[in-house]
Amino acid sequence: MANEIQRRNNLFDNLMNMRDWMNDDFFSDLTPAADHMKTDVAENDQGYTVKIDMPGFDKKDIHINYANNILSVTGHRDSFADESDQKGNVLHTERRYGQMSRQYRLPDVDRNAVKAQYDNGVLTLNLPKLQASDENDTRIDID
């Protein structure tokens, strides 16, 4: 069984190596969306800072939602790359349409104070935490 798993991993590694060797995006459907939305999440006592790489997106095509302690970020893009020689002969072309989405569990965020900024392909979110008095305390004291 272990050898069988190892062989499967080697097959996957070989596919990924072939992708690198070819320097082609042919195998992009085999990689998870997380490869395309690299994220850094930092936390301190005041809140969270989330930075997501989203190059090539227009700000109007990025949608951010926070509900039930889940931050959802979705972006969609259309891209067209035209690589032609000096005579206008197309050497390579790709047209791509797609949507990417990621979710992050970040509890106790003050939803009304969230700030978002998109600059040079990086989406930066500042999500302040609720103060103790702002939380919905569901505990009931017994008389």
> Which pLDDT tens digits describe the chain residue by residue (143 residues)?
554 444 445 555 555 554 444 444 444 444 444 457 899 999 999 999 999 999 888 899 999 999 999 999 999 877 655 566 667 676 666 656 678 899 999 999 999 999 999 999 999 999 999 986 645 566 677 86
Q: How many residues belong to the chain? A: 143
Q: What angle do CA 49, 104, 51 make, to 5 degrees?
A: 35
Please give the Cα distance from 58 to 123 (Å, whole number): 11
DSSP, res 45: S
CB 27 within 8 A of CB 20: no
Contacts of 81 (CB under 8 A, 6+ apart): 92, 93, 94
pTM of this structure: 0.61
